[in-house]
Structure 1
């Protein structure tokens, strides 16, 4: 297989995972065409057999079908061999996103996910996005109960602000924060990453390959199928793509010098951010699993890291189509307001 995928601690609460995970989102949601279930089961099992045992899903993927897919893929696989991360809180509605963090919703979502996954416990359970109407202490209080009941082992947050992370961590330890982090998505580095490190929280990097752009460059956009929601991302519109393709070309040049692929170089850059950083590249192809694992063997010098990091200054367009739901906008009201109105 080439590189070995080590199992290491994610955060400081005891969870151990493969230090490269598998994002399962694209297997059953939003990239234009739902993939055949039997093929995706093969991909998941190949990843597990290759040492990529940290599987990332959500009840919103599909919706619901992605968790069912993972449940089927894990039939006959030793439960102790894999670490399942799932999420609650996001409902796609009327072309936008509705976010929920009420206690009853948290519990109902967890119990439904357990049934779809067909497991007795979820290893890492995230708030997929932060409900800015509900004090984070209220959401975390229910998650803490679910941990005590053995329904989940560890708690995570995705796209949470620094204030939200600190307040949540005071109720129950946060094991991981999942945010977009890649060569062209760097907004978390100045404040959020140091906060996580101060608190002993692991960092899970979603979309480490720029939603596939660092694998194929402009060809990715040209070949997008109807219904692929990446068509709506600002970085892929015609105006911004003209500039962003130069970023891909420079990555390709450096990759050629290194003797690796552009996607391996981009993934290696994320791995080099620290031992507490866990990228979860998504794919629907076995060959891509193998290629992503190969990124673990790519070693970058300080000069190469600096050269790659400088490319972010050239990028045009917001990183997300729903920027209002990202960590910069996820503060929640004080706990006292909940006591008054409920």
Structure 2
């Protein structure tokens, strides 16, 4: 390498001359380009990583939207010891191409690294709407609410579930089938799972709707007859094989009373009689629970569960707790109330109050 030095030199008549000096030394080699650059897409962003370069102080990140073509100015700079970078503010659905150079103050910048490309994709897995004909969602639809209930009449055996994704590039399925989708409904509760998978293929949300299809068989009336049996009338004839005692539970007040026998008289139709494990008396407050999916109509529908249906008491037999010395007396009324824990219904309105006391007092013998 030659170094020219201009300096005043006295010689002869004081003339100025330029002297040339030779300087020996090797030039600083260029840094190698970063290797193994990778790009991983996210929602509106791409994360870059690369191997460290020995001697590098900084790395420059270059971006473009065509292979091998990058913006003139680097997107950003990463100082040592960093070997990763997240490019943000990118457009989902656009492929970006990246390269990285290494540099320091002595050697300058290296050449471009290998090229890495990625396409950012949305992570939005929300729904913006959900439509089910014949049904009203409870609660009302909201993108941030993931569980709903709804009911439809028995006449509705199939519904079309139409979910709308907030991001049009998301994938939506209904019980595993592409949306919108037809769903057949059984009588009773039907669970519908709506899976929303975001464009990135990673993010997802599950919305669940439980749709109850009402049964075509309902309990029309429940009463206790003169023999102390509970007589049930249904809207449709029942299949005899579905009449099992465990489908029913009677209650006297809050106390459960098991059903020991179920029969139809004379032939099985829409009327069923229950025999309890203990006698039922006049003024007992009787209610009935029915287990769901045990009783079946002759048309194939299952009766939904029923809780605490009041049973009208028609029996004329008074409880032995009520009677003293063969008649009705005030002491007997008090004994009856205490033994029944004041849980009776003398006037048939389903509750115990002053009217029930008056009804019992009316039976006191002079």
Q: Which interval holds the TM-score relative to the shorter structure?
A: under 0.3
Higher helix share: 1
Higher strand share: 2
What TM-score, normalized to structure 1? Answer: 0.20
Larger radius of gyration: 2
Q: Which has the higher contact order (CA 8 A, sep 6+)?
A: 1
